[in-house]
Amino acid sequence: MQLFSTASYLNAAHHYQQVLSQRGVEIDVCEVEQLNARFFRQHPDLALCVDEQGLWLCANGMRMQPDWKAEVSRLKRASIKSEMIARACQLSEAPQLIDATAGLGHDSLLMAHLGAKVTLLERHPILFTLLEDSHFQAQNDPFLKQIVDRIHLVFIDSADYLQSCIQQHQQVDVIYLDPMFPQRDQHQQAIKKQAQVKKQMQLLHLLLPEQGEMDLGDALLPLAKQVAKRVIVKRPRHAIFLNQQTPDHQWLGDACRFDAYFQLAL
Protein backbone atom coordinates (compact mmCIF):
# COMPACT_ATOMS: atom_id res chain seq x y z
CA MET A 1 0.00 0.00 0.00
CA GLN A 2 1.12 3.56 -0.69
CA LEU A 3 1.36 6.33 1.89
CA PHE A 4 1.25 9.85 0.42
CA SER A 5 2.82 12.83 2.14
CA THR A 6 4.08 16.30 1.36
CA ALA A 7 7.67 17.17 2.18
CA SER A 8 6.64 18.74 5.50
CA TYR A 9 5.36 15.43 6.88
CA LEU A 10 7.82 12.92 5.46
CA ASN A 11 9.27 12.19 8.89
CA ALA A 12 5.81 11.32 10.18
CA ALA A 13 5.17 9.23 7.07
CA HIS A 14 8.33 7.19 7.64
CA HIS A 15 7.32 6.71 11.28
CA TYR A 16 3.96 5.22 10.21
CA GLN A 17 5.78 3.13 7.62
CA GLN A 18 7.97 1.63 10.33
CA VAL A 19 5.03 1.01 12.68
CA LEU A 20 2.98 -0.71 9.99
CA SER A 21 5.96 -2.78 8.85
CA GLN A 22 6.25 -4.14 12.40
CA ARG A 23 2.56 -5.10 12.11
CA GLY A 24 3.06 -6.97 8.84
CA VAL A 25 2.03 -4.28 6.32
CA GLU A 26 4.49 -3.13 3.69
CA ILE A 27 4.13 0.57 2.93
CA ASP A 28 5.70 2.66 0.14
CA VAL A 29 6.09 6.32 1.10
CA CYS A 30 5.42 8.68 -1.82
CA GLU A 31 6.19 12.39 -1.63
CA VAL A 32 3.66 14.64 -3.41
CA GLU A 33 3.34 18.39 -3.83
CA GLN A 34 -0.18 18.70 -2.42
CA LEU A 35 -2.79 16.55 -0.72
CA ASN A 36 -5.94 18.23 -1.98
CA ALA A 37 -9.31 17.21 -3.40
CA ARG A 38 -7.96 17.06 -6.93
CA PHE A 39 -5.14 14.74 -5.89
CA PHE A 40 -7.54 12.32 -4.19
CA ARG A 41 -9.84 12.28 -7.22
CA GLN A 42 -6.89 11.39 -9.45
CA HIS A 43 -5.74 8.56 -7.14
CA PRO A 44 -8.78 6.31 -6.65
CA ASP A 45 -6.95 3.28 -5.24
CA LEU A 46 -7.02 2.59 -1.51
CA ALA A 47 -4.05 4.29 0.16
CA LEU A 48 -2.91 6.16 3.26
CA CYS A 49 -1.93 9.80 3.62
CA VAL A 50 -0.51 11.92 6.40
CA ASP A 51 -0.83 15.66 7.06
CA GLU A 52 -1.13 18.06 10.00
CA GLN A 53 -4.18 16.13 11.24
CA GLY A 54 -2.38 12.79 11.35
CA LEU A 55 -2.93 9.55 9.48
CA TRP A 56 -5.81 9.08 7.00
CA LEU A 57 -7.24 6.36 4.79
CA CYS A 58 -8.20 7.51 1.28
CA ALA A 59 -9.81 6.15 -1.90
CA ASN A 60 -12.20 7.22 -4.66
CA GLY A 61 -11.88 10.91 -3.84
CA MET A 62 -12.70 10.35 -0.17
CA ARG A 63 -10.57 10.36 2.96
CA MET A 64 -11.29 9.05 6.42
CA GLN A 65 -9.83 8.80 9.89
CA PRO A 66 -11.51 7.96 13.20
CA ASP A 67 -11.24 11.69 14.09
CA TRP A 68 -12.22 11.53 17.75
CA LYS A 69 -11.91 15.31 18.03
CA ALA A 70 -14.92 15.67 15.75
CA GLU A 71 -16.98 13.76 18.34
CA VAL A 72 -16.54 16.39 21.06
CA SER A 73 -19.82 18.19 20.41
CA ARG A 74 -21.73 14.90 20.54
CA LEU A 75 -19.97 13.90 23.76
CA LYS A 76 -20.82 17.20 25.43
CA ARG A 77 -24.51 16.64 24.65
CA ALA A 78 -24.52 13.05 25.85
CA SER A 79 -25.70 11.86 29.25
CA ILE A 80 -26.55 8.60 30.97
CA LYS A 81 -30.25 9.38 30.61
CA SER A 82 -30.17 10.51 26.98
CA GLU A 83 -28.11 7.66 25.48
CA MET A 84 -29.72 4.27 24.92
CA ILE A 85 -26.28 2.66 24.84
CA ALA A 86 -25.72 3.90 28.39
CA ARG A 87 -28.80 2.11 29.67
CA ALA A 88 -27.97 -1.06 27.74
CA CYS A 89 -24.40 -1.21 29.06
CA GLN A 90 -25.22 0.10 32.57
CA LEU A 91 -22.62 2.82 32.18
CA SER A 92 -23.82 4.53 35.36
CA GLU A 93 -22.01 1.72 37.24
CA ALA A 94 -18.65 2.53 35.56
CA PRO A 95 -18.23 -1.01 34.21
CA GLN A 96 -15.12 -2.76 32.99
CA LEU A 97 -16.06 -3.10 29.32
CA ILE A 98 -14.56 -4.81 26.29
CA ASP A 99 -15.42 -3.41 22.86
CA ALA A 100 -14.60 -6.43 20.71
CA THR A 101 -15.56 -4.83 17.38
CA ALA A 102 -13.65 -1.55 17.37
CA GLY A 103 -14.70 0.07 14.08
CA LEU A 104 -13.80 3.75 14.29
CA GLY A 105 -13.94 3.71 18.08
CA HIS A 106 -16.73 6.28 18.35
CA ASP A 107 -18.95 4.10 20.54
CA SER A 108 -16.00 3.31 22.81
CA LEU A 109 -15.28 7.01 23.10
CA LEU A 110 -18.89 7.67 24.12
CA MET A 111 -18.94 4.79 26.60
CA ALA A 112 -15.67 5.94 28.18
CA HIS A 113 -17.06 9.48 28.43
CA LEU A 114 -20.11 8.13 30.27
CA GLY A 115 -18.04 6.20 32.78
CA ALA A 116 -16.85 2.88 31.35
CA LYS A 117 -13.26 1.66 31.45
CA VAL A 118 -12.89 0.34 27.91
CA THR A 119 -10.57 -2.24 26.40
CA LEU A 120 -10.79 -1.68 22.64
CA LEU A 121 -9.81 -4.63 20.46
CA GLU A 122 -8.82 -4.46 16.79
CA ARG A 123 -7.04 -7.08 14.67
CA HIS A 124 -6.54 -5.20 11.38
CA PRO A 125 -3.11 -3.51 11.44
CA ILE A 126 -4.10 -0.45 9.40
CA LEU A 127 -7.34 0.21 11.26
CA PHE A 128 -5.56 -0.33 14.57
CA THR A 129 -2.88 2.18 13.56
CA LEU A 130 -5.56 4.71 12.61
CA LEU A 131 -7.21 4.20 16.01
CA GLU A 132 -3.87 4.45 17.78
CA ASP A 133 -3.15 7.75 16.03
CA SER A 134 -6.58 9.14 16.98
CA HIS A 135 -5.96 8.08 20.58
CA PHE A 136 -2.61 9.87 20.53
CA GLN A 137 -4.08 13.03 18.96
CA ALA A 138 -6.87 13.07 21.56
CA GLN A 139 -4.29 13.10 24.36
CA ASN A 140 -3.50 16.68 23.32
CA ASP A 141 -7.11 17.84 23.70
CA PRO A 142 -7.95 18.97 27.27
CA PHE A 143 -11.54 17.70 27.04
CA LEU A 144 -10.73 14.37 25.39
CA LYS A 145 -7.65 13.49 27.44
CA GLN A 146 -9.57 12.45 30.55
CA ILE A 147 -11.82 10.31 28.35
CA VAL A 148 -9.18 8.49 26.30
CA ASP A 149 -7.23 7.76 29.48
CA ARG A 150 -10.05 5.28 30.14
CA ILE A 151 -9.54 3.56 26.76
CA HIS A 152 -6.91 0.85 26.39
CA LEU A 153 -6.16 -0.24 22.81
CA VAL A 154 -5.11 -3.83 22.13
CA PHE A 155 -3.87 -5.05 18.74
CA ILE A 156 -5.33 -8.56 18.67
CA ASP A 157 -8.00 -10.73 17.13
CA SER A 158 -11.05 -10.45 19.40
CA ALA A 159 -11.71 -14.19 19.32
CA ASP A 160 -8.15 -14.88 20.49
CA TYR A 161 -8.47 -12.30 23.25
CA LEU A 162 -11.76 -13.75 24.51
CA GLN A 163 -10.39 -17.29 24.32
CA SER A 164 -7.50 -16.16 26.50
CA CYS A 165 -9.92 -14.62 29.02
CA ILE A 166 -11.83 -17.91 29.17
CA GLN A 167 -8.67 -19.96 29.70
CA GLN A 168 -7.48 -17.60 32.45
CA HIS A 169 -10.95 -17.39 34.04
CA GLN A 170 -10.99 -13.62 33.60
CA GLN A 171 -14.38 -11.91 33.69
CA VAL A 172 -15.61 -8.42 32.86
CA ASP A 173 -18.86 -6.57 33.41
CA VAL A 174 -19.80 -5.91 29.78
CA ILE A 175 -18.74 -6.98 26.30
CA TYR A 176 -19.98 -4.77 23.46
CA LEU A 177 -20.38 -6.09 19.91
CA ASP A 178 -21.19 -3.97 16.86
CA PRO A 179 -20.40 -6.23 13.87
CA MET A 180 -19.03 -4.49 10.79
CA PHE A 181 -21.07 -6.38 8.20
CA PRO A 182 -24.68 -6.96 9.28
CA GLN A 183 -26.09 -6.45 5.78
CA ARG A 184 -26.07 -10.09 4.69
CA ASP A 185 -29.41 -10.56 6.43
CA GLN A 186 -32.87 -10.12 4.95
CA HIS A 187 -32.65 -6.33 5.15
CA GLN A 188 -29.59 -6.11 2.93
CA GLN A 189 -30.86 -3.46 0.52
CA ALA A 190 -32.14 -1.05 3.15
CA ILE A 191 -28.92 -1.17 5.11
CA LYS A 192 -26.80 -0.83 1.95
CA LYS A 193 -28.72 2.28 1.00
CA GLN A 194 -28.06 3.77 4.42
CA ALA A 195 -24.36 2.88 4.17
CA GLN A 196 -24.04 4.74 0.87
CA VAL A 197 -24.44 8.00 2.76
CA LYS A 198 -21.63 7.24 5.18
CA LYS A 199 -18.36 7.77 3.35
CA GLN A 200 -16.37 6.54 6.32
CA MET A 201 -18.13 3.20 6.15
CA GLN A 202 -17.52 2.95 2.41
CA LEU A 203 -13.79 3.25 2.99
CA LEU A 204 -13.89 0.77 5.86
CA HIS A 205 -15.63 -1.73 3.62
CA LEU A 206 -12.80 -1.34 1.09
CA LEU A 207 -10.24 -1.89 3.83
CA LEU A 208 -12.08 -4.75 5.54
CA PRO A 209 -13.63 -7.02 2.89
CA GLU A 210 -16.02 -9.65 4.19
CA GLN A 211 -14.31 -12.91 5.00
CA GLY A 212 -16.82 -15.37 6.40
CA GLU A 213 -18.78 -15.41 9.62
CA MET A 214 -16.13 -13.80 11.79
CA ASP A 215 -16.76 -10.46 10.16
CA LEU A 216 -20.46 -10.82 10.96
CA GLY A 217 -19.62 -11.26 14.62
CA ASP A 218 -21.49 -14.58 14.95
CA ALA A 219 -18.49 -16.44 16.34
CA LEU A 220 -17.83 -13.79 18.97
CA LEU A 221 -21.16 -14.03 20.78
CA PRO A 222 -20.69 -17.52 22.31
CA LEU A 223 -17.21 -16.52 23.50
CA ALA A 224 -18.39 -13.20 24.91
CA LYS A 225 -21.15 -14.91 26.89
CA GLN A 226 -18.49 -16.95 28.72
CA VAL A 227 -16.54 -13.85 29.75
CA ALA A 228 -19.06 -11.09 30.55
CA LYS A 229 -22.00 -10.72 32.90
CA ARG A 230 -23.72 -8.74 30.15
CA VAL A 231 -23.18 -8.90 26.39
CA ILE A 232 -24.65 -6.02 24.38
CA VAL A 233 -25.01 -6.32 20.60
CA LYS A 234 -25.78 -3.26 18.48
CA ARG A 235 -27.87 -4.12 15.42
CA PRO A 236 -29.87 -2.35 12.72
CA ARG A 237 -33.41 -2.20 14.09
CA HIS A 238 -34.83 -4.93 11.81
CA ALA A 239 -31.73 -7.13 11.48
CA ILE A 240 -31.72 -10.81 12.40
CA PHE A 241 -30.33 -11.83 15.79
CA LEU A 242 -26.57 -12.27 15.99
CA ASN A 243 -25.66 -15.96 15.69
CA GLN A 244 -29.44 -16.61 15.57
CA GLN A 245 -29.57 -16.30 19.38
CA THR A 246 -32.64 -14.63 20.84
CA PRO A 247 -31.61 -11.94 23.35
CA ASP A 248 -32.84 -11.74 26.94
CA HIS A 249 -33.79 -8.09 26.53
CA GLN A 250 -33.82 -5.32 23.91
CA TRP A 251 -33.64 -1.56 23.75
CA LEU A 252 -35.22 -0.26 20.52
CA GLY A 253 -34.34 2.97 18.73
CA ASP A 254 -35.52 4.41 15.43
CA ALA A 255 -32.61 3.06 13.36
CA CYS A 256 -30.89 0.58 15.63
CA ARG A 257 -31.44 -1.60 18.66
CA PHE A 258 -29.36 -3.07 21.46
CA ASP A 259 -29.76 -6.79 22.18
CA ALA A 260 -28.74 -7.93 25.67
CA TYR A 261 -27.59 -11.36 26.80
CA PHE A 262 -27.31 -11.76 30.59
CA GLN A 263 -25.12 -14.30 32.37
CA LEU A 264 -26.35 -14.04 35.93
CA ALA A 265 -24.31 -17.06 37.01
CA LEU A 266 -21.13 -15.03 36.59
Binding site: which residues? 122-123, 178
Other CB atoms within 10 A of residue 48 CB: 25
Closest CA to 201 of 177, 180, 187: 180
Evaluate whether 71 touches 112 at the Cβ level (below 8 Å).
no
- Give just the sign of the alpha carbon dihedral 33, 6, 203, 66: negative
Is beta strand 2-5 parallel, antiparallel or unpaired with respect to 47-51? parallel
Evaluate whether 30 touches 5 at the Cβ level (below 8 Å).
yes
Q: Find all residues with CB under 8 Å of 216, minimum gap 6, and list them.
A: 179, 181, 182, 184, 210, 242
Evaluate whether 107 touches 176 at the Cβ level (below 8 Å).
yes
Evaluate whether 214 touches 179 at the Cβ level (below 8 Å).
no
Order of all β-strands in the sheet with 256-262:
151-155, 117-122, 96-99, 172-177, 228-236, 256-262, 249-252
Annotated binding site for S-adenosyl-L-methionine: 122-123, 178
Give how far Cα 24 sits from Cα of 21, 87, 123, 181, 221, Å.
Answer: 5, 39, 12, 24, 28
